Structure 1
Amino acid sequence: MGPGWYSDPAGGGGYRWWDGRAWTSDTTTTPGPAPRTASSGGSRRATPWGWIVGGLAVVLAVILAVAFLVNRSGGPRDITDDYPTASSTVSAWDDGSTPTPTPTPTPPGSESPSPRNTPSEGDGGSRPCPTASGTADTPPSNDGRLHGGGISVAEPGAGWEQSSFPAAVMFFASDLDGRSAPITGTWVNILGVGELTKSDGFADVQSAADSVTSCLASSGFMSATGREDEYSREHKVDGRQGWTVRSRVESSSASGVKGSYFDVIVVDVGRPDSLAVVALETTIDHHEQDAMRQRVLDSVRVDG
């Protein structure tokens, strides 16, 4: 997962900047572009204002130079010439035109301000990804498994570590146990096991699996170019009704990573108000992760 604004793992309802390696000290309640302190190498978006300001300065310098040379040479001055005054605007565009503003990127993980995460619903509408109101993190166990929401999976193995990043990416889940693994200097994969609250819109296993996949794809990628599902099908776990989705999400980031695969499994464990979820991210074209992926997905069990 790349640099971006994510729900602050320290709580408080705000957002904190993840630079691709660690959480920074930059926080905000109204997420937008990368903070001024973020390094250019860690950001997936370039800010064009520096080029625009530089361009305007060059245009102004050329206009003043031409005016100076014409006046000095004694040449005629057309009364229609537009020299800058205190009340005029010097622009690289025609005065009568209106430049198109650069869109401000909208961060994930909150309903206010309006998030960019809008998974589709069965009726063709859309809704924002909810922010879970329950406990984000669950204490790790010592049995070699991750537990959350009434299910568990095997530890992914070497290279994966406990961190707050899965809770920030899976902001829509509670009772979460997670691990993360750095892939490059600006890309991190996640594994999370947790609980989805039905009142947040996760009403059944099929629609919940699709919504979780959409939330992950839109919240985890600052430069996602599209989502393509390899499959979406019924998937029972220990006889319990479930659904699984495997999705390929490509990215246009300059991190050297094409994007990620997301494997999502949602299970109805019999709790009246919630469902259980497993989400695993692996990297496109990193086939050394295939054996770990299969082992983790095959290890999903209902606790108790």
Structure 2
Amino acid sequence: MSMTTPPGWYADPGVPGSERWWDGNGWTAHTRPLGGAVPSYQQGGQQASRQPRSARRGRGVVLGGVAAGLVLVATVVAGITLFGDDGTKTVPRSAPTTGEPAPGPTDGGDETPTAEPSADPTVLVDQLNGITLPIPDDWEKSESAVDRAVTMTTVADRECPGETNRYCRYGRVMSSTATQTDAAGPEALAKEDIEDASDALYDEDSIGNSFYGGVTSHTVVRSGEVTVAGRTGYLVRWKVETGSGPGGHVQSLAFPSTIGAESLIVVRFAFDAGPEGPPLAGMDTITKGIRAIGDTTGGVGSSIGPS
């Protein structure tokens, strides 16, 4: 008699100390620390010239695709479609499995798995951080495993301005727990992260590809406090100019999680400029629509203005 392992969180056979979501048929891209514990971490208009990204590597937080080692691990372990830091398609899709056998009582499987990640196409679920983000029309969830960030992108793409035969998404949003940072709160974290976000999304990816010709300069267009899922957060938004194409807007939004040790979360936004890019107001709409998982009250978002 055959026995099917039910969906749930199980010990990741490829990454010790982590759990991966088993959907009943194969491993997915959803991961979290073993046991479900949330790790505890410490919590305009001026023109600026750029330094080479190589001079700034190794600082900030690990988010949105700045660690090449994790990209390689995620590619091998998850075996899924991988989008680059800027939404470029880089690896053909394979079956969502690590090549290891299905979990079960004999290999550490949990017989009482937690709730399945949402299949709602209008909501992006960051289960590790306990939040959901609204998915705008003409956007979709990404199966990216880059640094284990939970990601959504525009459905539409086009040939990358700085590369031929590569395709970039017009808009990208990714949510992740902040790590390796000395920032004492949301404001410090957002101000610390924005340069790394700009680098990762418009300058170079983790293996040195420059899909937009590199960032040549930036302008701070917005900076200030904002209420996110009932918590006080902070955002910084830049307009970046690139060597190729119309450039874009990058935003780092930092706020405390609503669960566990209230670790700081960073949501990174990248909206290409130009007539085909997403409306910039969409950043505010997504920010105001962030909710704690299970919150069906609609929440309260604040107006966002410059400091």
Q: What TM-score, normalized to structure 1?
A: 0.49
Which gives a bigger RCO, structure 1 or 2 (Cα 8 Å, sep 6+)? Answer: 2
The structure with the larger Rg is 1
